[in-house]
Amino acid sequence: MPPGSHHRRSPFGSRLLGPRDQPPRRLRIRVQLLLTIMLVSTNVVGALVVFVINTWAIPSPGPTTEMVVALAIAIPTYVAAAVVIGAIWGTTTSLKALRWATQPDVDPDHVQRAQALRVPLALTTMQFLLWLAATVLFTLLTVIIQPSRALGTGLTVGIGGVVVAGISYLFTEFSLRPIAARALADTRVTQKLRGVGVGPRMTIFWVLGTGAPVIGLMIAAILALLPNSDATLHQLAIVAIVVCSVVLVFGFLLTELNARSVVSPLLSLRDAMEAVEAGDLDTDVVVYDGTELGQLQSGFNDMVAGLQEREKIRDLFGRHVGQEVAAAAAALGAGEIELGGETRVCSVLFVDLVGSTTYATQHGPAEVVGVLNRFFAVVVDEVDVHHGLVNKFIGDAVLAIFGAPVEHADHAAAALSAARAMATRLAVEVPEVGAGIGVATGQVVAGNVGHEQRFEYTVIGDAVNSAARLTDLAKDVPGCVLAAWDSVEAARTDGSPEADQWVEHGEATLRGRSGTTRLAVPRP
């Protein structure tokens, strides 16, 4: 019986079925062993049960010595012949339909996928036909030797064959899950590829596990009520006990196997959903069921693929506009992002390379790109560490904002600290070129500008212009860092110790302004 205690540790619901990426040769051997062991044992046990019921539980005259001898010879002979015929017939049919699945790097077409999913039904039909032949054979044998037992023999073998065929179907479907997974890989479980649905399957196996034995009990009762019946109360009691035992054992077995076939795909979905909930979007489930459960499995994989695509787009969007802007946009519903902005006080950091044009004319493109990437890496890293937003790459310059779109209580201190750390690292990590860094604090308009079909988040205002002008002046200052004194005062007002790391550095009239601006540089 398929084990279920570890189904969550196996992609196919059981460790007996092996790992997901097992080699084709090992898969073929594994499937052949499971099918042979399960089908042979099921049929042998079924034959023994039918023999016991037919010999001691039929409400008719007991078997004669000739009948017992004939059955003792005929049953083993037929079972052995049926096993050989079934093995050859089943193996030939199965291998023909599943040859592609046991070969590496073979992509099946639609016909091969459908044939693979029909193998359990084909093998079950084969089992049923062998039992049907046994029903005819043993009924005729009984008619010849002991006619009074012919009806009971035919019904017993026939009902036993139906039950065994049902169990064989579940065992076969279980053993072929890795093959079904390959057949259903890279495709949706459509109506054309589906097997017996969950609802019809439940009904069929209720009939096999409960309905058929109960029908047998009813027929036994009818036989006992016939005028010429010699059935005694003792015989009827034995019939009831045996049939009830069959219902309890085989009915439970069928119900358990059927339940496992339904629960295993659901458990794999549950585990995968928990993984996705924990943030693992690389999770998927193996689709090995051709029913509505398989549609759930493939639908889950489609959903995760959509989440992965959305996460890639969000990550790409965040790389272009900044994670904070991306998060703010994602928090709004579709169609709620509007043009316009809001007025707020924030700090602006502007950094521009010194002598980049000269360096570009004296070095190859690969070297220039390498220097630019190292420069941008330092700038982006420090802005992120200090919770700012890299708003624009302007050629070989960078505009960063602190305090928008997400409010930052110490935006001035964060911008000043980022400027000092940036200057120190650039001198060490990008010594080929210099960089001027300017910091200014003031009121700006922050928001989306452009057109409804194409816009960007930006900041506009005097602080932005001042930071750009200070960057030009900073290129001639030792350390190449210059800040407006207003930024230092704002940091001191916020109670940050960062203000103590700066000293005044005179005044200057910035281009485009009529008054002077007090300047500050990092403390030596």
What pLDDT digit, counting tens, does each position of 231-263 carry? 666 666 766 777 677 777 777 777 777 777 788
Note the pLDDT of residue 507: 92
Average pLDDT over residues 45-73: 73
Of 243, 270, 298, the residue at which a domain comes to its end is 298
| pTM (predicted TM-score) | 0.56
Question: Are 236 and 56 within 8 A, CB to CB?
Answer: no
Average pLDDT over residues 209-232: 69
Residue 524, CA atoms < 13 Å, CB-side half-sphere: 3
Res. 80: pLDDT tops 70: yes
The answer on 285 and 191 residing in a single domain is: yes
Residue 389 lies in a domain: yes
Average pLDDT over residues 6-18: 69
Residue 154 lies in a domain: yes
Q: Report residue 336's pLDDT band, with 50, 70 and 90 as the boundaries.
A: very low
Residue 306 lies in a domain: no
Question: Are 304 and 283 within 8 A, CB to CB?
Answer: yes
The answer on 267 and 392 residing in a single domain is: no
Note the pLDDT of residue 191: 46
The answer on 159 and 20 residing in a single domain is: yes
Question: Are 479 and 521 within 8 A, CB to CB?
Answer: yes
What six digits make up the tokens of 472?
Answer: 């030009």
Q: Which residue has the higher pLDDT, 506 or 267?
A: 506
Q: Which residue has the higher pLDDT, 459 or 45?
A: 459
Query: Distance between CA 95 and CA 92 in Å, rounded?
Result: 5
Domain total for the chain?
2
Query: Crossing angle, helix 150-175 and helix 177-184, to 10 degrees?
Result: 50
Average pLDDT over residues 328-356: 71
Res. 337: pLDDT tops 50: no
Residues 6+ apart with CB under 8 A from 78: 134, 137, 138
Note the pLDDT of residue 60: 64
What pLDDT digit, counting tens, does each position of 145-203 carry? 888 777 777 777 887 787 788 778 888 888 888 888 877 776 655 544 455 667 777 77
What pLDDT digit, counting tens, does each position of 100-114 carry? 776 666 777 777 777
Question: Are 94 and 17 within 8 A, CB to CB?
Answer: no
The answer on 447 and 398 residing in a single domain is: yes
Q: Report residue 517's pLDDT band, with 50, 70 and 90 as the boundaries.
A: very high
Element (H, E) at 392: strand 389-394
Residue 164, CA atoms < 13 Å, CB-side half-sphere: 27
Of 269, 298, 327, the residue at which a domain comes to its end is 298
Res. 269: pLDDT tops 60: yes
CATH number at residue 364: 3.30.70.1230
What mean pLDDT value characterizes the chain?
79
Note the pLDDT of residue 231: 61
Note the pLDDT of residue 56: 63
Res. 5: pLDDT tops 50: no
Average pLDDT over residues 352-378: 88
Per-residue CA distances from 411 to 32, 194, 378, 391, 401 (Å): 69, 60, 19, 15, 9
Residue 133, CA atoms < 13 Å, CB-side half-sphere: 13
Note the pLDDT of residue 456: 74
The answer on 346 and 242 residing in a single domain is: no
What six digits make up the tokens of 259?
Answer: 């339940």
Q: In this structure, are strands 397-402 and 389-394 parallel, antiparallel, or unpaired?
A: antiparallel
Q: Which residue has the higher pLDDT, 168 or 217?
A: 168
Residue 39 lies in a domain: yes
* Residue 504 lies in domain: 338-522
The answer on 342 and 243 residing in a single domain is: no
Cα dihedral angle (238, 242, 245, 247), rounded to 10 degrees?
-120
Residue 314 lies in a domain: no
Res. 326: pLDDT tops 70: no
Query: Distance between CA 71 and CA 50 in Å, rounded?
Result: 11
Q: Report residue 441's pLDDT band, with 50, 70 and 90 as the boundaries.
A: very high
Residues 6+ apart with CB under 8 A from 200: none
Which of 245, 210, 204 has its CA nearest to residue 121? Answer: 204
Average pLDDT over residues 466-470: 94
Residue 159 lies in a domain: yes
What pLDDT digit, counting tens, does each position of 273-283 carry? 888 888 888 88
Of 247, 278, 298, the residue at which a domain comes to its end is 298
The answer on 291 and 342 residing in a single domain is: no
Q: Which residue has the higher pLDDT, 108 or 414?
A: 414
Residue 333 lies in a domain: no
Element (H, E) at 222: helix 212-225
**Most confident listed range (80-89, 119-128, 152-161, 502-511):** 502-511
Res. 3: pLDDT tops 70: no
Average pLDDT over residues 59-76: 76
Q: Report residue 413's pLDDT band, with 50, 70 and 90 as the boundaries.
A: very high
The answer on 291 and 433 residing in a single domain is: no
Note the pLDDT of residue 196: 62
What six digits make up the tokens of 146?
Answer: 């002991």
Q: Report residue 481's pLDDT band, with 50, 70 and 90 as the boundaries.
A: very high
Query: Distance between CA 318 and CA 314 in Å, rounded?
Result: 6
Indicate the SS3 state at residue 515: coil
Res. 35: pLDDT tops 70: yes
Note the pLDDT of residue 111: 77
Rounded to 5°, angle at Cα 260 from 259 and 261: 90
Q: In this structure, are strands 434-451 and 340-354 parallel, antiparallel, or unpaired?
A: antiparallel
Query: Distance between CA 158 and CA 135 in Å, rounded?
Result: 6
Q: Report residue 524's pLDDT band, with 50, 70 and 90 as the boundaries.
A: confident
The answer on 48 and 152 residing in a single domain is: yes
What six digits make up the tokens of 90?
Answer: 């089943």
The answer on 288 and 349 residing in a single domain is: no
Residue 304 lies in a domain: no
Q: Which residue has the higher pLDDT, 120 or 91?
A: 120
Q: Report residue 332's pLDDT band, with 50, 70 and 90 as the boundaries.
A: very low
The answer on 398 and 253 residing in a single domain is: no
**Most confident listed range (238-242, 317-321, 457-461):** 457-461
The answer on 260 and 133 residing in a single domain is: yes
- High-pLDDT (> 90) share of the chain, %: 19
Question: Are 50 and 156 within 8 A, CB to CB?
Answer: yes
